[in-house]
Structure 1
Amino acid sequence: MIQFKDLISRFDYKISRDTTLRQAIQLMLNEKWELLPVTDDEGCLLGVFTRSEMHRMILDEKSLDTSICPYMKKDALTLQIDTPYEEIEQRVLNSRVGTGVVVDKENKFLGLFTKPDMVLALLRSTHVLKEQLETILDYSHIGVLMTDDSRNIIYLNDRLITMSEKSAGEMMGRKIEEVFSGFSKILSGKPSEFRENYVSISFNRYKTIAFVTKYQTGIEQNGYIALFQDISEIERMAEELQTVKKLKTVLQTALEYAYDGLVMINKNQTIEMVSPPLLDFFDLSLEHVIGQSAEKVFPELQLSHVFQSENAELSDFKERHGIKYIVHRIPIIQDGQVIGAIGKVMYRQLNQVNELFKKLQKAESKANFYQKQYKQAESAKFNWDHIITLDSSMERLKKSGAKAAKGRSTVLIRGESGTGKELFAHAIHNSSARSEEKFVIVNCAAIPEDLLESEFFGYEEGAFTGAKQRGKLGKFDLANGGTLFLDEIGDMSLSLQAKLLRVLQEREFYRVGGTTKIKVDVRIIAATNRNLEEMVQKGQFREDLYFRLNVISLHIPPLRERKGDLDYLLTRVMSELNTILGTSITGIEPKAKEVLYRYDWPGNVRELKNVLERAMTFAEYGKIQLEDLPDYLLSRIEDVEDPQPVGGLYEDAERSAIKKALQQSGGNKAEAARILGISRSGLYEKLKKYGVLQ
């Protein structure tokens, strides 16, 4: 683009109000100027003195020593130095004045601008552009020809000569349609009716597409320009591109269904490629990973190590969501330098290895294992950290339990089945002064009534037929100095309740068939899911024992009353079950999670664990799907929403999810199946089932 500053002529003379007519005539005569700029001492423009004013002074018979000031024009045409070229061009075309005065923003004189200046600048620019254009055309991969208004060829570049295998002499000056017959059809009409067009022109070694357009050669006269693009090379590139696309599809499919997670980084340690299983494993999305620093996104993988070591590395065992994994770091080396790295995260195959390793450990330390198991059989396994909750009432209950643990008083834990009464009992013992002593559990509902007394108090030698020769210690004996946990105490018979009351009051008992009093120091923690007050009224539970047990009472709320804990429990329980089951489940699909949220959980946390264990065992795609949940749970949810359209809540939710996935994938079935976390064949079955348009 031509710059305005390059068009102006410098003016190195000082013209002021005191300049005489003689000086002005001499300067105009010597420099051939049409006007003279008049400035003040600071160089600011005051006006101009033109040739016409000079002639007027002469006609007015002014002396040559007269000042030009009275004849100075103050309304001179001025141009700012930063005026755009397009505006300069318009002013030159529309103005009759041949010379303009150029000033800056402060009105200081900078130079003169004349129409000849502009013409010369345009000629220079045109010459440079012509040389540049000819150079580009000569070295371009595009063949070029130009014609005059009679369609005679007046220009050819070397590329077209090479393509056509004809000499310049054979083509120059001849009609374009005579040299290239393919142009005959589109040039046969009137020039005024011609429109830009494409023509296929084939040579011996080249196949081209020629684009033909008009250009103006004079007033109402037009020539033609034809650009020949070699599509032989494009066709080869298209074939190569198609091959690359196929390879990319194969690679993407392999990555999508790869058994392990894969990630590739470049020499700048930014992520270029990552497989979907790895994204699911780390709970990430593709748009938040690609192009990001590997150290920020996957600090656990430590891929930067191979840039220093330049050797493949295998990490130690790591763990996420209860899933153990190892990282294989592989450097990508080119010309002796590391230009990137691949991280292979292996976790699913490790389950089998882990099982074999466990068997080996058991075989090598069998004695220690059984000794440890025996010791743990009569010790509390859980503490307050194992009672996971975000519910404020449960947190208060835990604090109350921790306070109760510090004393010696009997604790009665109440709550529905599956709410975690036994966990509270374990935690109370572990946070008490008796934590180093034994923690003995008796399930009053699991032991037959005729054996319950001997289980509690033990028996002497020969107490009854089938008794051991040396007798047997009872649970009170085993728990001496520690804690005895009586689970389901509401199922204890009235006769045994009386004996238990005596032990609690007197802290002594007789063994079955024995005559010697046994002194014991045992703290009692009892638990029940029954309404003891109602049982007392009906005579099914001793009132005195009830008051003896109900010194400190803790009531655990059911799961349905603390739904805020559900999401937290789902995450923690899944992590624990991944370790126990050897599964690799990374989450729950939204539809399945909605069903879990809407269920009332009559079996509380125990039922939640059972449902998750079942679902994680059946899950096939890394996440729990709706179909992995038990049928009884789904049917109860549908009953709640009754009446429903045919198919119920589950089918409506599934139909809506399928439509949304198809919309997100632009109708791509494979991509929609991936979004839904099901196989493509499974998707087709559901499309057919719900009558969704394909």
Structure 2
Amino acid sequence: MLEFRDIVTPVDCLVTETTTLQEAVEIFMEKKWNLLPVTDLERNLLGVFTRSGLYQMILEGNPLETAIQPYIKKEARSIRIDTPYNEIEQAVKTSQVGTGVVLDEQDKVIGLLTKTEMVLALLKSANTLKEQLETILQHSNIGVLMTDGSQQMIYANEAFAKISGRTVASIMSRKLGDIFPGLLNGDDMPHHYEKFKSILHVSSYETVNHEEGKILLFQDISELEKMAEELETVKKLKLTIETTLEYAYDGILMTDEKNRITMVSPPMLELFSLEKNEVLHKPVEQVLPQLKLGNVFQSEMAEVSDFNEMNGIRYIVNRIPIKKDGKVIGAIGKVMFRQLNEVSELFKRLQKAENKASFFHEQLQKSESARFTWDHIFSKDPYMEKLKKSAAKAAKGRSTVLIRGESGTGKELFAHAIHNSSARSERKFIVVNCAAIPEDLLESEFFGYEEGAFTGAKLRGKIGKFDLANGGTLFLDEIGDMSLSLQAKLLRVLQEREFYRVGGNVRVKVDVRIIAATNRNLEEMVRQGKFREDLYYRLNVISLNIPPLRDRVQDVEYLIMELMKELNSMLGTSITGIASSAKTALLRYEWPGNVRELRNVLERAMTFAEHGKIQAEDLPDYLLSPLTEQISLAEDAELGAIRKALSQTNGNKAKAAKLLGISRSGLYEKIKKYQLSV
């Protein structure tokens, strides 16, 4: 639909009563308009300055710096932008003025409307409608023929050519009666045209010469015949279902979208002592309310009832919704009552097995164990292979290990593998992320607390991570984010192998091996007084420095292939490779998020891939554009969002994390990353 705004010429200059002759001439030369709307500084219309006024000023010899005010016409034709289109069209037809001033809803000048623009816009709209109509006709399944007043054919679409078996070229410009004799015999009512296996619709129209032309529409009935065949198949299917119900072992009934009974089996009628004519086409709530089939119309989920009883016979009801396009259009009620004692016993055994499985699963969840070995660390880089061998040797002892490297390089994988290849592999492996736990809770998490140690403490107290890891390994991730006060207490545990619980006065002795990890420069933190020097030397007994992925370029392609195998199994995909353009993008990228980022990118790409191979379009946009600019923009946006959320919640981190849609631990990591003071 043509919009009024589309044909308005915007007025982007300001012409007032003080505008000079020179300024007016310059605007006329630049804009090529027939008149200039004159307004005050608030763009309220005062009149118009026309070309004739301009010529008059020049003929009277006015200097160029003369104001146009005396030559302004106060009677200006204006029209509001919200005027209905048909009124505008009528106004243009009857107006003696070639150009009108357009006002907005507040009666401010916004543009000009000329008759020429209106005509051109209408012509463009008509051409557009013509093209749209031709497109519809060319892609329609209905055959179309059109004749002029002398029954000479002026239009035929491809659908008609297909129906008639004639080409469009062989039809055009010929008399309808010459190539299709008898086609127009009879009245204009729709009728069956056997020759083309179609329903023929004939209508008349008035040509530009005021003659009567014909439009013929042919609806192919082969599709209707196919529908009739499908209907016959449905009838046979209904007969099959009715026969199945007749001989069903259990009671079965079906209802429609209004929950009225449409089919019922004899066993169902026998169980409830009913006759078929008492049940069919009746609301199920009226004749069999005990089945509660209406439940599935609300829940849209299949369900099984508890045991019920009828005339001393126990039964259960399986309620199943029938869905179409996501909407429940009926329900099936299956009543099981024959040999239900055996079924009941089976249910009891199944329940006992499920309870036992649930118990073992709960126990397994409670246990803490390392999940990764050296085989999970994929690399072909010589330095990484040497690092794995060094770490495997270090695993045999009991010395503290400090793992260093950027985020996403696999520090936790190394920690798991060290524990699994140590003498403590059968004992617990406890992970503590020092950056994810609020500082005021870290001490109680590490050492536990006694009953009543503080407000909100559990009645029986709580054991800490050192207690849980006794005899095993405690992995301290992001050790560089630990407060100085807690660093002192950790140092004591490392030296004395004992500690006090929060609120307690009894020394607790433990045998724990410490593996620590950080992505921060501990040496610089020691110099700045942010990390205890004595703790640093106590942790840095064996140091493993994992290089970032950008320094292991030859590993990227190897990791891609290995991770794809793992992700195919996890995602259930069947991705066999990667297109060269996608591989080039992956190999040239710097991978600031290291292996973790590479895995996430591959998981996304394999989820989106539709052709058996990862294509460039399956990768995130930032991989396909200048990287530094993209990363900077993303980080700026993230930092701005975090600051706004903290401001809106007055510094409440839990509320801010909820507002941002991330976990509280994730928010703490980002606060550390951007060194925000909150």
TM-score of the superposed pair, with normalisation by structure 2: 0.40
TM-score of the superposed pair, with normalisation by structure 1: 0.39
User: Could you say which structure has the larger radius of gyration?
Assistant: 1
